[in-house]
Amino acid sequence: MSCSRSCPRRGSCATCPSPSSGEPCRGKLLLVGNPNVGKSALFSRLTGTHALSSNYPGTTVGFLEGRLAHGERCYRLVDVPGAYTLEATNEAEEIASRIVDEGADAAILVLDATALERNLVLALEVLERKLPALVALNMVDEARHKGISVDPAALEEALGIPVVSTVAVTGQGVKELLDRLPEARPARFAPSSKEERWVAVGRIVESVQKVTHRHHTWRDRLEDASVDPLWGILVGALVLGGSFLLVRTLGEGLIDHVFDPLFENLWRPLLDRLGTALGPGTARDLLLGTLFDGQVDFEQSFGILSTGLYVEFAMVLPYILAFYGVLSLLEDVGYLPRLAVLFDALLHRMGIHGYAVIPTLLGLGCNVPGILATRVLESRRERFIACTLISVAVPCTALQAMIVGSLGAISMGYVALVYGVLLLSWLLLGRFLHRILPGFSPELIVEIPPYRLPSPRALGMKLALRVKDFLVEATPLVLGGILLVDLLEMVGAMTLLARILGPLFRWVLGLPGEAAGPIVMGLFRKDIAMGLLLPLHLSPRQLVVATTVLSMTFPCIATFVVLLKELGGRDTLRSMGLMIAAALLAGGLLNALFLLLG
């Protein structure tokens, strides 16, 4: 097992046993470098722990720790968030700066050979702090394609520390890097000003790097086209439209041809037998739920083993697989930062810069990583706006799967209506927050990585990591949520909730009081809450209102916890207040519109 799992309280990883002796790992190594230079790819290679690695700056925003065993020695290896400078400008850089200041036995300075100049600035800042170090000169394959050659021996001479050329995605040079770890040493750079550092960097680059002329390739042309104001929008619309279609087709295909048949043909007979063995009583009510004609209804029975497992595995998991498969591909190709450039003008009107598009897209998978990814935004104001917008108007894949599964079964028009209202709320709330919150949004300074052909192995590992995270996080909440609903039902709490909130639901939203329970249960899991709405036999229009309100009100418990961690108590409360107000307003207006239309 890796340290990152066994030591979630980062930094207390001294409890990880070393390979042979059973003693804790005492040595500490840091992987330090600019964003998107391959630190996490190298981390995965060195520790065998899979860290998320994507082709855009800011993938790692908190740090990850793993164990690196080499020969008789055992080290704790820290994947430090990418930073351009240790004079931090955002939270990810603050974390990086703090970790470097805490010190370590050695730092592995990961430099991108295609952008040596910019990378060396940070390297010198680290070296000025007298940390023993060595260099992993990464992406040398990419540099070769670009006609850039860096002489590692000359760089070693110039810096005074070991330099090893690496290609983190293939593992080239990684063994040599490990072999040379003991040679890591402090360099002789004295603390200097920014200007002096740039001058030193210029001198080093001149002596170690050669650039040869090369012709424009189709990749260069595609890169230019995808940020062009006109062509870029066309490419963006095609990519986004195509992605959504692909997710839907893949998700539906998996449900129809894999997961549904599995539940119907394998799981149902087992449940039937269990039902007969248990006979009527509380145990059967909790495990299988309500029976219809003596049979389990996977969507409506609400037993732990019936609806609980079905919702998670047959309704949500297929879309999780499809969504993360497609998103990971877009990430690794390097398309997302281009989307950030295209969206910058629009997002600036909402007080956030274009880069917020990446957390937002991640939020469409699960709000939790989406909110964590807002750490790359510079100001607190931007982060508050981005987090609130994600929680209010960006439905996670689990909820979307249920929306498409239930509302989509009636008409895709209703699904489009819910998405339309969410999009409009996202835009209007963003505008509103931009107006009322003091401060300004910094300009977009985002580095556009080159397009890269993703490695199927890396993609597969990333998908497996994300699906595992989903299962670990969702399973206890889904099953526990269903148990809680059943217990609350048994003690009459749901009826009480319906009575208290009934008038508000009836008058403002046009919903029966019984819808209050499911919507409040959204605090646990929104997919389960959506499942609870189904047995109420709402009219399609009521279901649209209920779905919209459920999407926009309280975040689920996991999102709430990260919001609290990222924004602090006061801002989380403000954000939740906005969520409830926006949800009631949107639901109320939809209801009024439906009444007007008759």
In angstroms, the CA 191 to CA 129 distance is 7
36 near ligand GTP (CB under 6 A): yes
29 forms bridges with which residues in the sheet?
77, 106
Judged by CB under 6 A, which of 25, 49, 57, 358 binds ligand GTP? 57
Residue 165 binds ligand GTP, judged by CB under 6 A: no
How far apart, in whole angstroms, are the C-alpha atoms of residue 327 and residue 56? 13
Nearest to 142 by CA among 33, 38, 35, 31: 38
Of positions 49, 90, 119, 138, contacts ligand GTP by CB under 6 A: 138
Are 15 and 77 in contact, with CB atoms under 8 Å apart? no
Please state, in angstroms and rounded to a whole number, the distance separating the CA atoms of residues 104 and 574.
40
Please report, as residue ranges, which positions from 409 to 468 form the binding site for ligand GTP (by CB under 6 A): 452, 458
Which residue has 């293939």 as its token pair? 170
Task: Supply the minimum distance, in Å, between the C-beta of residue 390 and Mg ion.
Answer: 21
Q: How far is the CB of 453 from ligand GTP (least distance, A)?
A: 8
List beta partners, residue 292: 295
The CA distance from 594 to 586, in Å, is: 12
Q: Does 328 bind ligand GTP (CB under 6 A)?
A: no
Q: Does 54 bind Mg ion (CB under 5 A)?
A: no
Q: Which of 161, 167, 371, 402 binds ligand GTP (CB under 6 A)?
A: 167
Stretch that binds ligand GTP, among 15-23, 136-144, 435-443, 460-468 (CB under 6 A): 136-144
The residue range among 14-22, 54-62, 274-282, 519-527 that interacts with Mg ion, by the rule CB under 5 A, is 54-62
- Contact flag: residue 139 with ligand GTP (CB under 6 A): yes
Question: According to the binding rule CB under 6 A, does residue 116 interact with ligand GTP?
Answer: no
| Sole binder of ligand GTP in the list 47, 49, 53, 226 (CB under 6 A) | 53
The least CB distance from residue 264 to ligand GTP, in Å, is 40
- Kindly tell me which of 223 and 527 has the beta carbon lying closer to ligand GTP: 223
Closest residue to bound ligand GTP by CB: 82
Per rule CB under 6 A, is residue 114 in the interface with ligand GTP? Answer: no
Shortest distance (Å) from residue 78 CB to Mg ion = 12
Q: Does 36 bind Mg ion (CB under 5 A)?
A: no
Number of residues this chain uses to bind ligand GTP (CB under 6 A): 26
- Taking CB under 6 A as the criterion, the residue among 4, 29, 40, 338 binding ligand GTP is 40
User: In Å, what is the CA distance from 498 to each residue of 86, 343, 494, 515?
Assistant: 54, 42, 6, 7
Rounded CA-CA distance 555/424 in Å is: 19
Q: How far apart are CA 504 and CA 243, in angstroms?
A: 39
The stretch near Mg ion (CB under 5 A) out of 40-48, 68-76, 104-112, 146-154 is 40-48
Among 4, 60, 226, 374, binds ligand GTP (CB under 6 A): 60
**77, containing H or E segment:** strand 73-79
41 binds ligand GTP (CB under 6 A): yes
For 239, the token pair is 């990519």
Is residue 541 involved in binding ligand GTP (CB under 6 A)? no
Determine phi and psi for 285, rounding to 5 degrees: -60, -40
Q: Is 144 in the site for ligand GTP (CB under 6 A)?
A: no
Give the integer Cα–Cα distance in Å for 127 and 464.
37
Q: How remote is the C-alpha of 163 from its chain's centroid?
A: 33
Q: Closest separation between CB of residue 177 and ligand GTP, Å?
A: 12
Q: Distance of alpha carbon 172 from its chain centroid, rounded?
A: 29
Site string for ligand GTP, 362-391 (x = CB under 6 A): ------------------------------
CA distance 341 to 532: 40
Query: Among 4, 34, 40, 391, which residue interacts with Mg ion (rule: CB under 5 A)?
Result: 40
Residue whose CB is less far from ligand GTP, 115 or 398: 115
Measure the CA–CA gap between 46 and 177, rounded to whole angstroms.
10
Nearer to ligand GTP, 457 or 537 (CB): 457
When binding is defined by CB under 6 A, the residue of 4, 47, 49, 55 that contacts ligand GTP is 55
Give the shortest CB-17-to-ligand GTP separation in angstroms.
26
In 3D space, the residue among 531, 504, 389, 380 whose CA is nearest the CA of residue 441 turns out to be 380
Told to check if 59 binds Mg ion by CB under 5 A, we report yes
Closest CA to 29 of 68, 61, 60, 71: 68
Quote the CA–CA distance of 441 and 431 in Å, as a whole number: 13
Stretch that binds ligand GTP, among 36-44, 265-273, 297-305, 354-362 (CB under 6 A): 36-44
User: Do residues 566 and 387 lie in contact, with contact meaning Cβ atoms separated by under 8 Å?
Assistant: yes
Part in contact with Mg ion (CB under 5 A); list of ranges 57-65, 182-190, 298-306, 451-459: 57-65
Cross-strand bridge partners of residue 79:
31, 64
Quick one: CA dihedral 566, 569, 574, 580, positive or negative?
positive
Q: Does 332 bind ligand GTP (CB under 6 A)?
A: yes
Closer Cβ to ligand GTP, 50 or 348, answer by number: 50
Q: Which of 60, 114, 548, 575 binds Mg ion (CB under 5 A)?
A: 60
- CA 359 to CA 443: how far, in whole Å? 17
Are the beta carbons of 551 and 399 closer than 8 angstroms? yes
Min dist. Cβ of residue 418 to Mg ion (A): 35
Q: Are 358 and 373 in contact (CB under 8 A)?
A: yes
CA distance 161 to 168: 20
By CB under 6 A, residue 226 contacts ligand GTP = no
DSSP notation for 369-390: HHHHHGGGSSSHHHHHHHHHHH
Residues engaged in binding ligand GTP (CB under 6 A): 33, 35-41, 53-55, 57-60, 82, 138-139, 141-142, 167-169, 332, 452, 458
Residues engaged in binding Mg ion (CB under 5 A): 40, 59-60
